[in-house]
Amino acid sequence: MELFDAHLHLQLMANAAEVAAELASLRVGALACGVDPRSWEADRALLADVGTPASPIVVAAGLHPWWLADGRCGSPEAELLASICARTRWIGELGLDFSARRIERLGKEPQVEALTRACAAAAAASMAGQERVLSLHSVRAAGTCLDVLERTGAATRCRCVFHWFSGTTDELWRAVRAGCWFSVNEMGLATGKGREYAKLIPAERLLLETDHPAELGRPWSAQRVRESLERALALVAAARKADPAELQAQLVANARSLLA
């Protein structure tokens, strides 16, 4: 494995199986994040056996806060995700989005409740060496998200990865102290704040991601994923004044320990 995408919506690409096979041949591993737990079984069946031990592709069960915010998912799906957390180590995308348009219809409560149920279930199912891995979305909600991770025990019992972290510097340090990991992408690294955070995050808790595809349900290509990861790597190396080859080796080692 030369690169690892810690937050890729592989199962939402029209040509998912083809992209997965190409990723393996390009030596790119991935954590494939879902958005609706009802598709987890089908996603797993579709993408079973596409990864290789050298370039693993793991399929996560997710419940995206936008799907809760607009009513596409609700309490039954929150319950389904919590039950799935007992059966798989890979959970994401889940989390909170408190931007105005995501809370105007139903408020914050359904999101907080779904995240709490999933985190509690994941923490209960986590065992030493079999920690649950969570890929977390948090927009204008990092403090509340950390409250939930700490209250449920997920912060200590699971490997919690903030995807595209956009909280304040204080919240970043709080997440670092809580033991969280961070996956960064080229969109975030295009901003001064994103580059500053890429410099501050402890080297052993840093991962790359793409959050591809740009449009769900359309065809995509593994080459675009790899190129985006390469651009993110170059931006992180510049921000940290690190040797790109050494940083790349560190990031692959991080991915391996995340999945171990």
Q: Which residues bind Zn ion (CB under 5 A)?
A: 93, 211
- State in angstroms the smallest separation of the CB of 180 from Zn ion: 17
- State in angstroms the smallest separation of the CB of 9 from Zn ion: 6
CB-side neighbour CA atoms (13 Å) of 210: 27
Question: Which three-class secondary structure state does DSSP give residue 7?
Answer: strand
Q: Nearer to Zn ion by C-beta: 20 or 247? A: 20
Q: Nearer to Zn ion by C-beta: 31 or 149? A: 31
Residue 93's nearest CA partner among 130, 26, 39 is 39
- State in angstroms the smallest separation of the CB of 252 from Zn ion: 22
CB-based contacts of 111: which residues, under 8 Å, 6+ apart? 65, 68, 69, 95, 96, 97, 98, 102, 103, 141
Q: Nearer to Zn ion by C-beta: 5 or 93? A: 93
Q: Nearer to Zn ion by C-beta: 22 or 211? A: 211
Q: Nearer to Zn ion by C-beta: 92 or 237? A: 92
Contact at 8 Å (CB) between 163 and 136? yes
Question: Which three-class secondary structure state does DSSP give residue 14?
Answer: coil
Which residues on neighbouring strands pair with residue 182, listed in sequence order?
A: 162, 206
CA distance 136 to 179: 14
Contact at 8 Å (CB) between 176 and 187? no
Q: Nearer to Zn ion by C-beta: 228 or 237? A: 228
Q: Could you list the beta-strand ranges (E) of the chain.
A: 3-8, 28-32, 57-59, 90-97, 133-139, 159-163, 181-184, 206-208
- State in angstroms the smallest separation of the CB of 33 from Zn ion: 6
- State in angstroms the smallest separation of the CB of 230 from Zn ion: 20
- State in angstroms the smallest separation of the CB of 103 from Zn ion: 18
